[in-house]
Amino acid sequence: MVRDYQQARHGRVFRAVVGGAIGLAGGAIADGTLGQRFRNEGDSPAKGVMTAVGAGFGAGIGAAVTGGYRTVYLRAK
C-alpha cells in the first residue's frame, strides 16, 4: 500500500492557546454568574478561581486534541 500523509496546519501550542482562550471565556462567564451566586451563599471559591480553572481546563483539552497526520491518498500496489 502506498500512503501519502499531510501534516496538520496548526501545532499543539496553537491549539493550547485557542483552547485556553475559550476556557477563559467560559470560566469568566461561569464565575460571573454561578460564582457570584456561590459567593453570596457563604463558603465558596474566591473571585477569579473559576476563571483560572476554566482557562487551564481549556488549554489542556486544546493541547490534548492532536491534529497529527492525515491520509490524503491511499493506493494498493
- Alpha helices for 1-77 (secondary structure H): 12-30, 36-41, 49-64
d(CA 66, CA 5): 15
Q: Name the helix (H) or strand (E) containing 2.
A: strand 2-7
Q: Which residue has the cell 474566591?
A: 46
- Give the tens place of pLDDT for each residue, 22-38: 999 998 988 888 888 88
Report if pTM > 0.85: no
- Give the tens place of pLDDT for each residue, 15-71: 888 889 999 999 898 888 888 888 887 777 788 888 899 999 988 888 888 666 666
pLDDT at 62: 85
Q: Is 4 helix (H, G, I), strand (E, B) or coil?
A: strand
Farthest CA pair distance, the chain = 70
